[in-house]
Structure 1
Amino acid sequence: MAELSVVEICAGAGGQSLGLHRAGFDHMLSLEIDPQAAATLRHNLERIQDRSPDVRVGDVADQGLWRPEDYEGVDLLAGGVPCPPFSVAGKQLGSQDERDLFAWAVELAGRIQPRALLLENVRGLSAPRFAGYRQAIADRLEELDYASAWRMLHANEFGVPQLRPRFVLVAMRPDSAAHFSWPTPLEDCPSVGDVLRESMGERGWRYADRWADQAVTIAPTIVGGSKKHGGADLGPTRAKRAWAQLMVDGHGVADHAPTRNDPSFRTRMPKLTNEMVARIQGWHRGGEDWEFLGRKTSTYRQIGNAFPPPVAEAIGNSINAALNESAAASGGLESTVHDDLYRLLKGSSKLLTMNDIVKSLGLGNDLSSIARRLQTLSEDFVLHEMETSQGLAYGLGEFKAFRGQEDHGRHSHFADARTRARVS
């Protein structure tokens, strides 16, 4: 395929970067807030690209870090914006979480005008809780003249032996969108044993083959974690139980593979090394040997928090084919209505009563359901209420998400964080 250009935000240590590189994209600019992850990314892009990479460290929304308009017309704007606002492991604060950058990234597309947009996040963003949020994103992209669609992609469907669903948004100009098709899942996925057989035996462990022969399923989701938590660890209690079914000790990460004199996995389960975790994430497929910089815990987080490279490669190939119109016109990016109540309120020139809403949406007399949905919408949007002769009437106000507003609370939060970092 023809080589295309990409600007990547929230790039991490390069999982998406590597996949997009394999799919024919050349990185014009990469932005990442974590210095160690950025160092790893820069080190590897220097090895696999024909020119020196431009990797910048800092808050991607900091106007002093870069000027988006300098990259107007780039082929692809991509990123794995922060997951905590939507993760079921957190509070799912959505637009009220100061780390939320999803809506901002869409506004960024309006400034850069890329030919395509790729954003990925956790499964939690697909939940009913965020139906209105997704609808706001889809509607804004339509206003910016992009066709868009969301799809849940499962890592194990692309050869990554891991239970790792990712919720992916792709948007393109309508002419290119007509040529887009979601990547086709592979028929088979290797097991954990298939992928780690050689690594487990690299120091002569006598039980490596027998261990691999019984590790015949895929792994639970690799959890990279955050700096607020302890060292490298394979996840919460439920994940550790799943690892134990694979005869892996999930309490920490080992410095090296088992040696010849180590006992059987039935006597003492082996721990994974960072190199093994990277293989489960799909980093070593395709020939490039990605080198991670930093100490063990930092390396583990860089590996575990990444978008698996084979999944990024698969979606990157689909985007490349559509932009080059090398794929036949197909169903394209089919839009979906995520929240009909949101659209009703947004499109109304007046406030609507419960009776108005019931009649318009054909919901019968399920007023309690409507009340719950209104409450959910109020978490991400200003919800106007007014008492009328027919009861309360409702209207949809401003989207609370950060989109670059000068008066948004995100600015003070990050200013405080920078101050604390300088003091410490």
Structure 2
Amino acid sequence: MNSIELFTGAGGLALGTHQAGFRHRGLVEWDEDACDTLRNNARANSVPGIDDWRIHHTDIRLLSFDRFGSGDVDLVAGGAPCQPFSLGGKHRAQDDARNMFPEFVRAVRELQPRAFILENVKGLLRASFQNYFEYIKLHLTYPTITKKRTEDWPEHRARLEDVHTKGRFQGVKYNVVAQLLNSANYGVPQQRERVFIVGFRADTGLEWHFPEPTHSEDALIWDKYVTGEYWKRHGIRRPASSRSFSLSGVRMRDLENGPPITTKPWVTIRDTIADMPEPRADRDAKGFTNHKLMSGAKVYPGHTGSPIDMPSKTLKAGVHGVPGGENMIAFEDGSVRYLTVREAARMQTFPDAWRFEGAWSEVMRQLGNAVPVGLAAVVASSVASKLTSTQPVQEHQGSELQAPRRHHA
């Protein structure tokens, strides 16, 4: 199955969709360092099967999708720049010049894939952005109903609502669903909440729902504080602090008296770096690229680091550089240190063979903006499974694949 990857960044979503079986016909990214990361890994074939990746270093607003061919793309995927909607950003949303949702819709309109996957930050669900979020979903439902030059997005939304409630649209339509997913619930060692918007072209007739979580905090609590299996797994004495650990009485009774826990435990930082040597400041550890100690980690109010026996906090790119707390490991003795690039890459479930280009702060920015590979693979594999259950449709909805039309009514 063929795919197009937009806003590729360091390649997290692209690797996940690649693992799910999609063959990328093009990857679009404007940041030079991120493009270097993609090119160098493709050239080295860091992951089998990526040596033919075609990276387009360009502003997506200047890109014509005609070069990818119409009717020959099964999936369009991308994580549009999150800063306009990020809780840590300036919250300008649709008024931010970095708002690239219209470009993602344009890609869907022009390529008309059988499915799409769009990822973005939890901040998109804030009450102040709710109307625009609903507008995005409606525009993705009817991508050929374009915004007129003379109207603003609320007016365009009103037209889309008219079409939607009428229920008899004859053009290209997508069945769209959205859900907030926590990466930790799918085996990623990071508590990273992200909104996924997934759509299937209506003529495919496919039914789909988001994958069920495979991991849980309850299972980790059980392993730590009831059976102690977590500590045994790591061959360490159960910490004294764990004996004084207390949940609310109600929750502990629920765990002990409730149905069996069928999920796996959340994956912790300790789980993730257990086989790695301690980093050194002067050079990479043997056998591990990008694994060098960065000094200067400090604890101060609001920046306490991620406890080693929990999934990490959400890695962030930061508006003014790398935040201190989210990118530090907090040890039981109260000490902290920065995650190395390789450790941060593991928090994002990048393969160890994946090399990152650029200065430390730049690479951590790439990682902070990335989609966790493992979560991307889970969602994309579920989409791929549905798409392979039916044959691609070559003509649909009045042959819009061959000649996409824009609707203004």
Class of the TM-score when normalised by the shorter of the 2 chains: 0.5 to 0.7
Q: Does 2:190 correspond to 1:162? A: yes
Partner of 1:55: 55
Q: Measure how far apart 1:175 and its partner are.
A: 4.6
Partner of 1:189: 266
Paired letter, 1:174: A
1:98-118 deviation line (CA, Å, top 9, x unaligned): 110113311321111111111
1-structure distance, mates of 2:181, 2:96: 25
RMSD of aligned residue pairs (Cα, Å): 2.4
Q: Measure how far apart 1:283 and its partner are.
A: 0.9
Paired letter, 1:155: S
Paired letter, 1:166: R
Among 26, 30, 44, the alignment partner of 1:33 is 30
1:28-68 deviation line (CA, Å, top 9, x unaligned): 000111111111112223413265221011211114xx444
Q: Is the 8 A contact 1:160 1:310 kept in 2?
A: yes
Partner of 1:271: 338
Partner of 1:298: 362
SS of residue paired to 1:110: helix
1:246-293 deviation line (CA, Å, top 9, x unaligned): 32xxxxxxxxxxxxxxxxx73753332111111111113xxx621212
Q: Is the 8 A contact 1:182 1:315 kept in 2?
A: yes
The aligned runs of 1:380-419 (5 Å cut-off) are none
Among 177, 189, 199, the alignment partner of 1:149 is 177
Paired letter, 2:342: E
Partner of 2:384: 320
Partner of 1:198: 275
1-structure distance, mates of 2:89, 2:211: 30
SS of residue paired to 2:313: coil
Compared with structure 1, are the counterparts of its residues 91 and 295 closer, same or farther at alpha carbon in structure 2 (3 Å cutoff)? closer
Q: Is the 8 A contact 1:81 1:101 kept in 2?
A: yes
Partner of 1:311: 375
Partner of 1:14: 11
Compared with structure 1, are the counterparts of its residues 177 and 135 closer, same or farther at alpha carbon in structure 2 (3 Å cutoff)? farther
Q: Is the 8 A contact 2:105 2:140 kept in 1?
A: yes
SS of residue paired to 2:316: coil
Compared with structure 1, are the counterparts of its residues 308 and 324 closer, same or farther at alpha carbon in structure 2 (3 Å cutoff)? same
Q: Is the 8 A contact 2:84 2:96 kept in 1?
A: yes
Among 201, 219, 224, the alignment partner of 2:312 is 219
1-structure distance, mates of 2:42, 2:22: 12
TM-score under structure 2 length normalisation: 0.64
2-structure distance, mates of 1:199, 1:177: 47
The aligned runs of 1:93-242 (5 Å cut-off) are 93-143=92-142, 144-176=172-204, 178-186=206-214, 187=263, 188-201=265-278, 215-226=308-319, 229-230=320-321, 233=322, 235=323, 239=326
SS of residue paired to 2:104: helix
Compared with structure 1, are the counterparts of its residues 215 and 72 closer, same or farther at alpha carbon in structure 2 (3 Å cutoff)? same
Q: How many pairs were matched up?
A: 284
Paired letter, 1:146: Y
Q: Measure how far apart 1:296 and its partner are.
A: 2.1
1:46-92 deviation line (CA, Å, top 9, x unaligned): 413265221011211114xx444633220111111110111121232
1-structure distance, mates of 2:13, 2:358: 19
Q: Is the 8 A contact 1:154 1:164 kept in 2?
A: yes
2-structure distance, mates of 1:117, 1:276: 30
TM-score under structure 1 length normalisation: 0.62
Partner of 1:280: 347
Paired letter, 1:318: S
2-structure distance, mates of 1:195, 1:29: 32
SS of residue paired to 2:343: helix
Q: Provide structure 2 residue ranges, at least 5 long, that are not aligned to the other structure.
A: 143-171, 215-262, 286-306, 391-405
Paired letter, 1:319: V
Compared with structure 1, are the counterparts of its residues 278 and 70 closer, same or farther at alpha carbon in structure 2 (3 Å cutoff)? closer
SS of residue paired to 1:85: helix
